[in-house]
Structure 1
């Protein structure tokens, strides 16, 4: 039997980090194809947009469900399960000639996004304590690493080869990671084995999340005051309130809201949402600044491939910073690392404002911002796992991953609104203005600072000695009164 003090098989941590990286690559895979999707699939631009949206929606539902199932039936088994839809979805996309099978395939790819929280939770079972923080930091940052590295790779393939090669390549990656997990990752007894799966809770969460994420991600297209958008927001509120009421009263919930409400967990999740907003703001702004025509006076006229290559060093920096972040967590604690990460992100945005006029300047700002993201991403799971029972590790990490995803969705919507409202006219076309981009960068900086402030409110973890003293005090109270 494996335990936290047991020496692990060689390659477990790299395999889990690679799994998270591949899952993240699936998200950025279609970015270079978005503009060409209507023509490639013979459909409208609004229909083609679902190729991106469906992955977000399915991942939002499946990540917390996958986490809970990992606690119930085993994390390794669920990692293997997640690899299956990644592979099948990629094959369906590679063969697609119309928008419906492409949407189905992308939805299946979204089902595999639970790999990251499952991998992080598994580390608690198989990695020695002295190596745990660094391992968590690396696997947690793999989502950002995959996103940063995946964009230039996808752009290169899309530019120099048939677009279907992207999906055949992703199918090969999914198959490879499934094989590596099967042979390298050890099987650990399920922490919550014997408990039941909360199917009603899963359905309720799905209804609430899909309504919320759909309203946020499509509100800009449909209109924020349209009946559809407002109706979805209303449905989300009602569904999530009913879901929360049910979860508090069921014996074995999908998400233990009492544990989630603990200040250490709650404030970490709030900070995670804000970090997600701060991270994604730059991911939206930087590629546009790099690719806008030079005639605008602020655009840099780079190709999609060149833009991706300028942003790739940020992903490389995340790989470098992650193990250093683990050492920082060991020496100063995860709360310190989260605060520092948020502050570094804010510094990166502050640098981006004067440096946005050059591609190298944007690259430097991206390196700083991604360094902060690596520190923050490594600290969040460590904070969560220090405050939840072992039997809820995967579920709690899945919920935290959902909070990060919610943050990126909110960030996308907020920056999208800003850039849509602050525009300039050029050649008969409306383009986001320089002031719009500067405002977006200021929002990213401000949100990162708020995240640091929230992280500062996270209470310190009580030691076993302190808890023992507290219990002793309670025990002695009657005799004192007597």
Structure 2
């Protein structure tokens, strides 16, 4: 018996009929379905925490470990690199061997990195952070599992919740890390992560239903995986280390040139591959293409908001800053994190009544408004925190719309890979924001108190760029419309028991 998939039009969110989801919960208040959402959300939160939990300790590590700030910067770079590489590969493998296996694998990387990091010196710490970064791949796999394992009416709300946890984890990581650092020692940041990852692994094993593979998913393209790895490493090395090496230096220029050459070669190879890591033909359709561009842009404005707010609150008084301590500035981001999580139910409700691309556009408008208000109405710290929270609300709305668009337009047998690409470009966006905010802060620095600090002009320019990027997100939402091919037939998405 065949089942028709809905047209890929512009109506409210209605995910394609479940692909042989005989094990999916059916009742409106199904306990298994609720448990699945809770476990997936908690696991995504644990992964998101890894991105910022260690940030408060980074300025202390050169003195603690007897190394240079340039070496310590690899604690962030290593996580970014491994996360970018692991996300599309583990997402593709989840289409082939099952979501639960890859979710557990991702959390095992986090556990291994958390245990390894505090056991030695800077080399061991960087290796541990690299392993933690690979856990980032859990997020798109968990989103694909929501589509596979839940009844249709619960898919949109669950995706909104999972998207919200990404912003929440990043927002609470800095203040939580600061509290742990002040209360005990930096090693406990990693022991705490290890404990959370053990809880997540057990919960995933108990709650997430076993499933071997998605029929029609094909084999694994090793050549494509290697080319993608080399290309992404070169690209992200250039972005993350450009400020340290010098943007016009030979290493930075060579990294970007290598990235272009290898990624172009990878794209040509993927178009010829029978089982590509990423189905470039599917992702080139307007809904998925502009959805991925919007994900990149939202990654930029989200992380720029985090960095801009903490830097401005800690900045020099009289130069646009307010002289707060790093701990207080970190705690000031908690309202932003809470707001991102709080808008998740509203986002799902709006998407069910209109369409996810309309919701994406609303998120872009709210984000742009928040950045504008930062420029024209930030006379005191309270106003800065309020406008940062408005930006968080806009980003939270936009984040929640992204996986809903994927569920609507991506082929069933490429659901994990499609979510992986979306998560990957979002991570690239955060790295661009980190490099860009740092570069602008240095370029527009002033002397205050015997040290170089970002000026009031730098804060305004960063906010103006953030607002402009948010408006481009609105344009992506508009351009993502139109009539395009529907997802692959149901027979290609059927799954078999593990």
User: Is the 1:273–1:405 contact (alpha carbons within 8 Å) kept by the matching residues of 2?
Assistant: yes
User: Is the 1:2–1:125 contact (alpha carbons within 8 Å) kept by the matching residues of 2?
Assistant: no
Deviation sequence 1:111-159 (CA, Å, 0-9, x none) = 1111111111100011111111111011122111100111111111112
- 1:250 alignment counterpart: 273
The whole-number CA distance in structure 2 between the counterparts of 1:158 and 1:451 is 37
- 2:159 alignment counterpart: 136
- 1:241 alignment counterpart: 264
Give the CA deviation at 1:427.
Answer: 3.2
- 2:128 paired with 1:105: yes
Give the CA deviation at 1:384.
Answer: 1.6
Structure 1 length normalisation: TM-score?
Answer: 0.93
User: Is the 1:125–1:188 contact (alpha carbons within 8 Å) kept by the matching residues of 2?
Assistant: no
The whole-number CA distance in structure 2 between the counterparts of 1:127 and 1:106 is 33
User: Is the 2:100–2:208 contact (alpha carbons within 8 Å) kept by the matching residues of 1?
Assistant: yes
Give the CA deviation at 1:357.
Answer: 3.5
In the alignment, structure 2 segments of 5+ residues that lack a partner are 1-20, 490-498
- 2:466 paired with 1:447: no
Matches within 5 A, 1:49-448: 49-96=73-120, 98-192=121-215, 195-294=218-317, 296-448=318-470
The whole-number CA distance in structure 1 between the counterparts of 2:210 and 2:374 is 45
The whole-number CA distance in structure 2 between the counterparts of 1:80 and 1:290 is 39
The whole-number CA distance in structure 2 between the counterparts of 1:378 and 1:318 is 10
The whole-number CA distance in structure 2 between the counterparts of 1:314 and 1:333 is 25
The whole-number CA distance in structure 1 between the counterparts of 2:224 and 2:24 is 31
**Structure 1 residues 188 and 323: alpha-carbon distance in aligned structure 2, compared to 1, 3 A threshold:** farther
The whole-number CA distance in structure 1 between the counterparts of 2:127 and 2:438 is 26
The whole-number CA distance in structure 2 between the counterparts of 1:440 and 1:59 is 26
The whole-number CA distance in structure 1 between the counterparts of 2:479 and 2:38 is 33
Bigger relative CO (Cα 8 Å, ≥ 6 apart): 2
The whole-number CA distance in structure 2 between the counterparts of 1:2 and 1:227 is 56
- 1:474 alignment counterpart: none
The whole-number CA distance in structure 1 between the counterparts of 2:435 and 2:478 is 27
Question: Higher helix share goes to which structure?
Answer: 1
User: Is the 1:3–1:125 contact (alpha carbons within 8 Å) kept by the matching residues of 2?
Assistant: no
Deviation sequence 1:260-281 (CA, Å, 0-9, x none) = 1111111111111111111121
The whole-number CA distance in structure 2 between the counterparts of 1:19 and 1:376 is 21
CA RMSD in angstroms comes to 1.7
- Secondary structure (helix, strand or coil) at the match of 1:443 reads helix
Give the CA deviation at 1:286.
Answer: 0.6
- Secondary structure (helix, strand or coil) at the match of 2:452 reads strand
- Secondary structure (helix, strand or coil) at the match of 2:446 reads strand
Give the CA deviation at 1:193.
Answer: 6.5
Structure 2 length normalisation: TM-score?
Answer: 0.90
- Secondary structure (helix, strand or coil) at the match of 1:425 reads strand
Matched residues, number: 463
**Structure 1 residues 176 and 355: alpha-carbon distance in aligned structure 2, compared to 1, 3 A threshold:** farther
- 2:39 alignment counterpart: 15
The whole-number CA distance in structure 2 between the counterparts of 1:292 and 1:433 is 8
Deviation sequence 1:164-215 (CA, Å, 0-9, x none) = 1111101000111111111112223421467211111111001000100110
Deviation sequence 1:354-412 (CA, Å, 0-9, x none) = 34332211221121111111111111111122111111001000000011111111122
User: Is the 1:329–1:379 contact (alpha carbons within 8 Å) kept by the matching residues of 2?
Assistant: yes
- 2:71 alignment counterpart: 47
The whole-number CA distance in structure 1 between the counterparts of 2:228 and 2:376 is 43
User: Is the 2:315–2:454 contact (alpha carbons within 8 Å) kept by the matching residues of 1?
Assistant: no
User: Is the 1:6–1:126 contact (alpha carbons within 8 Å) kept by the matching residues of 2?
Assistant: no
In the alignment, structure 1 segments of 5+ residues that lack a partner are 468-482
User: Is the 1:133–1:330 contact (alpha carbons within 8 Å) kept by the matching residues of 2?
Assistant: yes
